[in-house]
A and B are shown apart, each in its own frame.
Chain A
Amino acid sequence: KIYEPEVHSDRRKWRMRSVSVDLNNDASLVIDIPDALCERDKVKFTVHTKTTLSSFQKPEFSVPRQHEDFIWLHDTIVETEEYAGFIIPPAPPKPDFEGPREKMHKLGEGESSMTKEEYAKMKQELEAEYLAVFKKTVQVHEVFLQRLSSHPMFRKDRNFQIFLEYDQDLSVRRKNAKEMFGGFFKNMVKSADEVLISGVKEVDEFFEQEKNFLLDYSIKIKDATAKAEKMTRSHKNVADDYNHISGALNNTAADNNTAFKNMCVLQKVEDRMASDQELKLTELLRYYTRDIQAAKDLLYRRARALADYENSNKALDKARLKGKDVAQAEENQKQCLQKFDKLSESGKKELTSFKARRVVAFRKNLIEMTELEIKHAKNSVSLLQGSIEILKSN
């Protein structure tokens, strides 16, 4: 019999704390995901919207959405030419329950070889881990929607409004293999193109600077994210070890039970510490890794536009030289310039606000993380002091 965790079918509710970014500051469109249901490999999010905007039919409504719907929304926005000048909020990553699920499976298999307490403990531990992943997943999806809703342009997007309002299943088609490959191919082309257009001389110092900064920063933050992930993982291992040790100590020294029960709680504190570090720091870094990628995409699009403009200039020169299709070339050149200017303009705005947003988010998360670290460490201290006193007194 394989163990089926209750969480799978359990509805878990929690109050949302926007973690990675400070959003929802505009009361005219407030979105949150108060509830999510996890079924097998699908996660159904309840997307709740409260609005005063007249473009919506009702002031408040909830719809069920799946992860794929979010991806669809992201893709349509990316594909919209109009939005080329904006940093498009990064799509939420696919829910990944493999880790805890695999453990659950192992737990089910090992059920017979474990004592009841050990089993209950493991189960509890796993459920906590599962919940943490679940929470995180919901959060990134929520943040994605909040980013869209807080953006002056995206909030008016038709697809976005459909996504929020349409009360039936969106039943977006999953990407088929060809499209997947197409997406992959597009990325390849983009990367190659990026290299090609990198030779284009930047005309605007702001963008030149911004480009250098983002390139450098994205490498650094990617690295930091990987390192932070590693660190939190090993921290969790340590917490796990505490757990096992406290269990074994309980078996060994029955007389010092209370002291070792504290040890057990200590494990929980350590575990919490690791998870909070993960939530506050690693998630922040992860998010900004993606966000910076989005900003880089914007730069790419602008650089592309610049290259197009330069090409059109060349084409115009050629046309003038040959005296053929001059009007068409002029038109083309004008359009390219327009597009480029527009991209530059909105891009400048976007990048500036991106910077401000990033600083705020880092500040918030670092403060929260620090406070949590202090809180947990204080908890540990009092637990340890208690244990030591108990041990010393008997």
Chain B
Amino acid sequence: MAASSERSPPPFPDSEEPELLEDSDEGADAFTGTSISEMDSPSPDSTRPPKDIFNEPPEDIFSDPLSNINPEPQKKVDTKIPSPSSDEAVDLFSEPLDDDSEVMSSPEVQNPMPDLLNEPVEAPKSDVLCEPPVHKNAARQQDFFEDPPKGSNNSSSSVKKAASAELFGDDEDEEDLFKETPKVVTKKPQPSGPPVDVFTEVKSDVKVKPQVKDDPTDMFTEEALTAPAQKPPASSSSSSRTNGVHSEEQDLFSEATVELSLDSPLNDRKKKDAVKPSLSAPAASVASSSSKAPSKTLEELEEEESEDKFDLNISVTNPEKVGDGMNAYMAYKVSTQTSLTMFRSKTFTVRRRFSDFLGLYEKLSEKHSQNGYIVPPPPEKSILGMTKVKVGKEDPSSAEFVERRRAALERYLQRVVCHPSLLQDPDVREFLEKEELPRAVSTQALSGAGFLKMLNKATDAVSKMTIKMNEQDVWFDEKIQDVENEEQHMRKLHVMVESLVNHRKELSGNTAVFAKSVAMLGSSEDNTALSRALSQLAEVEDRIEQLHQEQASNDFFTFSELLADYIRLLGAVKGCFDQRMKAWQRWQDAENMLQKKREAEAKLLWANKPDKLQQAKDEIAEWEAKVTQYEREFERISATVRKEVIRFDKEKARDFKRQIVKYLESLLNSQQQLIKYWEAFLPEAKAIA
């Protein structure tokens, strides 16, 4: 596909690219497969947008409204692919109805009705009636539509020129439009309401096209880069435009609907081409887009920050034992250095104890993991290690434990603040800034084995649910598998590195013992030169012992701990998938419930019991709302998880590369030292005579 070849890799980690390409290809295939037969696309570009929209998480926001607008056309299209214009016609016919209901934001009876009963009947009819005008209208509308906004709105005209700016502009408009739609929704009773709504959607549709001409992948980053700057003007202009458009071009609305329906079936098919019962999505789409818009801009902001590699240095230092006996605990100095304006000063220091770190995680996890965020997990509680610290005085193993934990806490905090959304969390700020924190309670649940158990439980739940969930999204399907495999590998690798650490420590110990033994041998040797050489050898071995020891701690801190961190993080990633799965499950349950309610209603109709009908209708309305809400939530969490996982992968690649280079450098250093030592020894050996 042309679009895919245009993709520029930079925004994505290398490993991601193939998958994305695959995705897009599939999407494209699905698309072209049907589009050719069914669509005399009014503008050449319009063939592409849906596909691209689809593949980019942020674009889901656009496609949401579109795809949700009307599921029915989709069905019809499916049944009548041979006649290209028929679906358009049908759409023309049915759409206004739907739009009405949509605007009312509470799904109406009309919705289920066509769905269940009327569709097949209605479709042919409309087919016959409306076919010719549709074509014309569609084409004409396109022109119309593109012109006025261009004239009235800068951002929309710029669309055609500068790619990135335009992308961004669209994006913003979109959001703003959607922000506005709720207003429109409230004006529901007015006759002009529905058309406006439709129109905004159409507009969004049209605007998507230029994006497609452009490089789709870039959208992601570029919009992010430019977003904050352009935001305020965009919102005002778009709102005025919407008003203007809707007053001036009333007659277009019907055509606009056609436009809309052209795309929506496509989107729909792709998105839920499986067995999804039709929804009365429009209301949801409006709501979801409006609710999503602000959160998305926030994300953009964050994205930008992360690109800047925000200026925030956190270090955890000075572990200190506070108190005595079993009530003793370790307190750490958490120092922050930043130029971010969200903090009160540039440098500040607080003292935190281990349970505070756990408490922070708990708070963050409570708030964010259900939304599909990967909340970095803190190091596990270690009762054994801590008890040693509490009891033991100056035991090297407890010193190592403290250092290990300190380093782990530091990495943990760095990961937290590296996460753009978590950084915004007031609890994080409080943790870093506030002098006194309320004592974290119930962190016991997170202690050592408990924490692992929790993760395992989540893992089990995921695997169980995978069976139930027929994964529609190839990306997720693969990713879940990847994460699973990766975790396996990491665990294996971790075991090996641990054994390396132990063996090297052993080697270090044995070298030390050997050095002593050689020194003794040297002292017994009666040949002076040989004796000297042997004691030199002992010294060399002593140094090598030091080297091994240092290397063992490098093995541990740069390599083994990295793996341990990522095993924990992968657990968190799996938790995200789990959350998504849960959202899906909730949605499906609601869907089933709705189905049941509708069946009940049909029965009532059949049995002619009008007294209970109203109640049934109310219930249906209630469940429809729930379904849309849950679906929306699912879409949102999917998008978030996806974004999070991509971010995680990127971070991981960077982290690993950095750490492995660091590790190899430590090995290199050891070897260089080794050369030095032996080279110094060589003349001694040669001096033996």
Contact = CB atoms under 8 A, between A and B. Distances in A.
Contact of B521 (A224, A249, A363): A224
Residue from B486, B671, B672 with most neighbouring chain A CB atoms (10 Å):
B671
A216 B526 CA distance: 11
Contacts of B506: 234, 237
A223 interface: yes
A245 B520 contact: no
A239 to B, nearest CB: 9
B524 interface: yes
B675 A238 contact: no
B461 interface: no
A255 B489 contact: no
Interface in A243-259: 244-245, 248-249, 251-253, 255-256, 259
A385 interface: yes
Contacts of B521: 217, 220-221, 223-224
Interface string A369-394: 01101100110110011011001100
A374 B675 contact: yes
A252 B678 contact: no
A213 B492 CA distance: 52
Residue from A217, A233, A355, A388 with most neighbouring chain B CB atoms (10 Å):
A388
Interface residues of B, number: 53
Contacts of B490: 252
A271 B665 CA distance: 20
Contacts of B679: 374
Contacts of A371: 682
Contact of B668 (A241, A252, A381): A381
A377 B14 contact: no
A377 B671 contact: yes
A266 B500 CA distance: 14
B533 A362 contact: yes
B500 A241 contact: yes
A367 interface: yes
A103 to B, nearest CB: 17
Nearest to A225: B517
Contact of A388 (B493, B529, B668): B668
A130 interface: no
B596 interface: no
B657 interface: yes
A186 interface: no
B423 interface: no
A58 interface: no
B313 interface: no
A366 B500 contact: no
A228 interface: yes
Interface residues of A, number: 51
B511 interface: yes
A374 B678 contact: yes
B503 A237 contact: yes
Contacts of A2: none
B497 A359 contact: no
Contacts of A387: 664
A281 to B, nearest CB: 9
A228 B511 CA distance: 8
Given A235-B507, A253-B656, A381 B671 contact: yes
A230 interface: yes
B616 interface: no
B682 A378 contact: no
Contacts of B527: 355, 358-359
A200 B309 CA distance: 84
A231 B514 contact: yes
B674 A362 contact: no
A359 B527 CA distance: 7
Residue from B527, B656, B664, B688 with most neighbouring chain A CB atoms (10 Å):
B664
Contact of A238 (B15, B507, B660): B507
B511 A231 contact: yes
A388 B688 contact: no
B441 interface: no
Contact of A362 (B496, B517, B530): B530
B689 interface: yes
A373 B678 contact: yes
Interface in A193-241: 213, 216-217, 220-221, 223-224, 227-228, 230-231, 233-235, 237-238, 240-241
B615 interface: no
B437 interface: no
Contacts of B514: 224, 227-228, 230-231
Interface string A311-351: 00000000000000000000000000000000000000000
A70 interface: no
B307 to A, nearest CB: 21
Given A237-B503, A378-B675, A381-B671, A363 B685 contact: yes
B498 to A, nearest CB: 9
Contacts of B674: 373, 377
19 contacts: A223-B521, A224-B518, A228-B514, A230-B514, A231-B514, A241-B496, A241-B500, A241-B504, A252-B486, A255-B14, A259-B664, A359-B527, A362-B534, A363-B688, A377-B674, A381-B668, A381-B671, A381-B675, A384-B665
Closest 5 CB pairs of A and B: A241-B500, A363-B688, A227-B514, A234-B507, A366-B685
Interface of A: 213, 216-217, 220-221, 223-224, 227-228, 230-231, 233-235, 237-238, 240-242, 244-245, 248-249, 251-253, 255-256, 259, 266, 355, 358-359, 362-363, 366-367, 370-371, 373-374, 377-378, 380-381, 384-385, 387-388, 391-392
Interface of B: 14-15, 486, 489-490, 492-493, 496-497, 499-500, 503-504, 506-507, 510-511, 513-514, 516-518, 520-521, 524-527, 529-530, 533-534, 537, 656-657, 660-661, 664-665, 667-668, 671-672, 674-675, 678-679, 681-682, 685-686, 688-689
